[in-house]
Structure 1
C-alpha cells in the first residue's frame, strides 16, 4: 500500500531550497513528488506533516561503532533516533581483537538494525607490523568477504580505510594487493593518508600505478584546508570529521568556504563517537548543525540555505560516494528526495533546532516522536567475552626504565598529546636519572607532567610490553588504564608510580578489560566485557560509568575533559608523530621503532 507524506517542506539538497510538496512512497521507494495542489492517489496511509521539514536520511560517511562502547544493535537504537538512516562502518576495532569472527558479527547485527549499516572490510589488521593485535586479516580473508553474491544480503561496500599509506606508496607488503582485490570485486576503497601530498598522494590514490585513475577514493584525515583541497583536486572525496576525539571540521570548513572550493566531494563523518556525545548531543544531526553554524558565520547564506547546504554534505554527497555499491547490489540510490530513490527520510519540526519527529528507513517508520517503533532483537555476545589474556602477574619491576650510562640526566623521546587531535608531538626532553634500590633508572615526574606509559600485549599472553614517557596526561597521583587502545587494543597504562601501575594492570588483567582509575587505594572501574571494548548495557548506564571513571581521573589531577579518549589513541601507530605499542616506541614519520633514550654522542 502506498504511503503519503502530505504537506512536507522538502529539503532540496541540490538547489539548496525548501519546497512544499507531497511525497508518494511505495514498496520502500519514492515513486512521486507532487505539488500540494495536485490530486493525491488513494491511500489509507496518509501522514499530514503540517509543513514540517523533510530531509533525506542522514549518512555517516565513516564510522567505527566500537568507539561508542556499544555493539551495532545497541548503537543503532540511539543513532537512528537522531535521523541517521545509513552509516559506512569499518569494524577494524573488533577485528583487531577477534578477527573474521568479529567482522561476521558486525555483518550479522547490521542485518537486524533499524537503519542501513554497510561494512568496509578492515584493510589493516594489525594496523602495522610494529604491534601485536588479537588477529590478522590477510588478503585471502578480504577476498572472501568482498566476493559474496551481489544482492541485497551483501552489506560489504568495500575495503575499509587503507591506513598503510607507506605500503601503497612504496609498494611493500600486500597493501596494493588488497586494494586491487576490492577494485576487481567492483567495490569502494576508503582511504587514510594524513599529511600525504604531491607525488606521494598521486601514488597513493592510484594504488601505486600513477595513471591518474582514482582507486582509493576518500580520506578523513586531512588536518588543513590546503591538504583537503589538494586531495579533492586529485579526485578524492573528503570526509570532514567531527568526532569526540578530533574535530577537524572546525579547523577546515571555514578555510574551505574562503577558498570557494566545489563542495560536491565533501562529506561529513564522526569517525569515533563517544557514548556521552551520542547520548547528549546526537549523531550526524549534531555534525550538520555544527557545519550549518559555520556556513552562517562565514557566508551570507540564510538559515534555510545554510541548513540545506550542511545537510547536503551528509546526504547527497555520501549518497554519490556509495552509488556504485548500491547499483552493484541492486539497491535504490540514497541521499536525496527524488523519484526513484530509496525512502530514507528524516523529518524535523524546526530548521534551527532540527528536532526530529519521524525517521523512515526503506519506507517504513522506524522512529516516531523519539520512540523506536519496533523492538530491537537481542544478540548473543558470549563468544566475545573474556578477551584479556595475560597469564603472568604484572609486577613493579615490569615498569622500571633502567639507565646504564654515567650522566645525571638522559635525553629521552617523549610523546606529547595535543588537545582534540589524534596527532602527537615528538619531544626530546632531558630527564633526571635517579638511583632507586641501587639501580639507576628514570621515574615519572608528575610535577613536570612527565609520566610513564606502558602497553602490554593482552591477546596472546606473550609477555610483550614496552615502557615510554608521555607529557600532557596530567595526573598527579595513581594510574589510569584501558583496554581501548586503537588499533591493537592492548592494555595501556599511564601512571605516576610503578606500584599504582602494577596494581591497576593486574586488576584489568583479572576483570577482563574496560577502563579504570586508581589512586591511593581508591579504584573506579568501567567494565567493557565485549572484546574489552564495549558493553551491552543501556546507554544511560554506559554514560554514567564512563563519566565516573573520567571524573576520577580528573580528581587525580588531569585537566583533560576526557583523558581516556586521549589515552586510547596513544598506541595508534599510523597517526604522526610518535606513538607506543607493546613492541616499543614508534616514530610514525619514519615508520620504525626507536629507543626511548636518544643515543649519547
Structure 2
C-alpha cells in the first residue's frame, strides 16, 4: 500500500476527510459479537474504514437495510451444479455468496488435468472469488474405473497458483492412516508449500482419527451426529456443517 493511500484511509476513518462512499443508516450484522449495529459505513477505496456517523463524496441511504459480510462456501464442487463459472456466479452471488472454495474432483475424475485447467480458466476474473483445493483422490478409490489418474507429481505445479489453497477432501482415510506412499507424497507436497489439507472421513474415530489428524488433515465435513463432530473438534479439526440432500440431517448436525 502506498503512503498516500494509507493516509487517505486513516483520515477517512477518523472523519478528518470525506470517505469515498458512505452507506447511511445501515443495520450491520456484526459477526464478531453477534450484534446488529445501526450506523453508517465509511468506505475509502476498496476498504471499509469506519462504522459510526460519517459523510462521503457519495452517500447512499439504506433506510435500515441489513449489511453483512459476503458469505464463503468453504467446500463445493462447482461442476456438480452443472454450471460453468459465469453461470454459477449468477446463481449464487445474488444470495450473498461472494467466495467459494471448490474441489474440482468430479470433473478431474473424468478429464484429468484438462478438466482441472478448464475449471481454473472459466472461473478467472469473476466478481465471485473462486479458490481451489486440488483433488486428492483421482480416482476416488483404487477400485474405480474413472477417466483419469492424478498423482502427486502432476498436482505439484498447481500449488504455485495463488487461487490454489491446498489439498482437497482426503477421502482415502484408510490409506492415509496406513501410510500409503502415494497419499503421503501428496500431503507432503501440500504442507511444504504452507497450504492446508481438508478432510473427508465419515465415522473415523479413536486412534485412527488421531493418526489422520497427525498426518496434517485440518478439517472434516462428513460428521453425521454431534458425538462424531465433538470428537473431531476436541482433537483440533475445523468442522464444516452441511445438510445432506438425501439424509436431511440438519437437526442432528
Q: Does 1:93 align with 2:111?
A: no
Shift of the alpha carbon at 1:177? Answer: 1.5
Q: What are the residue-to-residue correspondences of 1:417-432 with 2, within 5 Å?
A: none
Q: Does 1:200 align with 2:208?
A: yes
Q: Which residue of structure 2 aligns with residue 561 of structure 1?
A: none
Equivalent of residue 176 in structure 1, options 172, 178, 184: 184
Equivalent of residue 150 in structure 2, options 134, 137, 154: 137
Q: 1:495-543 CA deviation, whole Å, 9 max, x = no partner? A: xxxxxxxxxxxxxxxxxxxxxxxxxxxxxxxxxxxxxxxxxxxxxxxxx
Q: Does 1:58 align with 2:58?
A: no
Q: Which residue of structure 1 aligns with residue 7 of structure 2?
A: none
Equivalent of residue 112 in structure 1, options 122, 125, 134: 125
Q: How much is the aligned-residue C-alpha RMSD, in angstroms? A: 1.5
Q: 1:166-218 CA deviation, whole Å, 9 max, x = no partner? A: 111011241122111111111111100111011100100111xxxxxxx2111
Contact 2:40 2:54 in 1 (8 A): no
Shift of the alpha carbon at 1:48? Answer: 1.1
Q: Which residue of structure 2 aligns with residue 67 of structure 1?
A: 80
Gaps of 5+ in 1: 149-153, 208-214, 253-601
Q: Does 1:43 align with 2:67?
A: no
Q: Which residue of structure 1 aligns with residue 32 of structure 2?
A: 14
**Equivalent-residue separation in structure 2 for 1:94 and 1:79 (angstroms):** 20
Shift of the alpha carbon at 1:94? Answer: 0.7
Equivalent of residue 78 in structure 1, options 87, 91, 114: 91
Q: 1:299-352 CA deviation, whole Å, 9 max, x = no partner? A: xxxxxxxxxxxxxxxxxxxxxxxxxxxxxxxxxxxxxxxxxxxxxxxxxxxxxx
Q: Which residue of structure 2 aligns with residue 31 of structure 1?
A: 49
**Equivalent-residue separation in structure 2 for 1:140 and 1:56 (angstroms):** 38
**Equivalent-residue separation in structure 2 for 1:39 and 1:77 (angstroms):** 33
**Equivalent-residue separation in structure 1 for 2:226 and 2:214 (angstroms):** 22
Q: 1:346-373 CA deviation, whole Å, 9 max, x = no partner? A: xxxxxxxxxxxxxxxxxxxxxxxxxxxx
Contact 1:241 1:247 in 2 (8 A): no
Q: Does 1:2 align with 2:16?
A: no
Q: What are the residue-to-residue correspondences of 1:418-497 with 2, within 5 Å?
A: none
Shift of the alpha carbon at 1:243? Answer: 4.7
Equivalent of residue 166 in structure 2, options 152, 158, 167: 158
Shift of the alpha carbon at 1:147? Answer: 2.7
Task: Give the structure with higher Rg (CA).
Answer: 1
**Equivalent-residue separation in structure 2 for 1:136 and 1:28 (angstroms):** 42
SS in 2 for 1:117: strand
- The structure where helix makes up a greater share of residues is 2
Q: What are the residue-to-residue correspondences of 1:166-565 with 2, within 5 Å?
A: 166-207=174-215, 215-252=216-253
Q: 1:396-428 CA deviation, whole Å, 9 max, x = no partner? A: xxxxxxxxxxxxxxxxxxxxxxxxxxxxxxxxx
Q: 1:264-291 CA deviation, whole Å, 9 max, x = no partner? A: xxxxxxxxxxxxxxxxxxxxxxxxxxxx
Shift of the alpha carbon at 1:161? Answer: 0.6
**Equivalent-residue separation in structure 2 for 1:188 and 1:23 (angstroms):** 34
Contact 2:27 2:67 in 1 (8 A): yes
**Equivalent-residue separation in structure 1 for 2:238 and 2:62 (angstroms):** 35
Alignment size in residue pairs: 235
Structure 1 pair 112/51, CA: closer, same or farther in 2 (3 Å)?
A: same
Shift of the alpha carbon at 1:14? Answer: 1.9
SS in 1 for 2:80: helix
Q: Which residue of structure 2 aligns with residue 375 of structure 1?
A: none
**Equivalent-residue separation in structure 2 for 1:216 and 1:55 (angstroms):** 31
Contact 1:240 1:248 in 2 (8 A): no
Structure 1 pair 197/81, CA: closer, same or farther in 2 (3 Å)?
A: same
> TM-score scaled to structure 2, two decimals?
0.88
Contact 1:73 1:112 in 2 (8 A): no
SS in 1 for 2:43: strand
SS in 1 for 2:240: strand
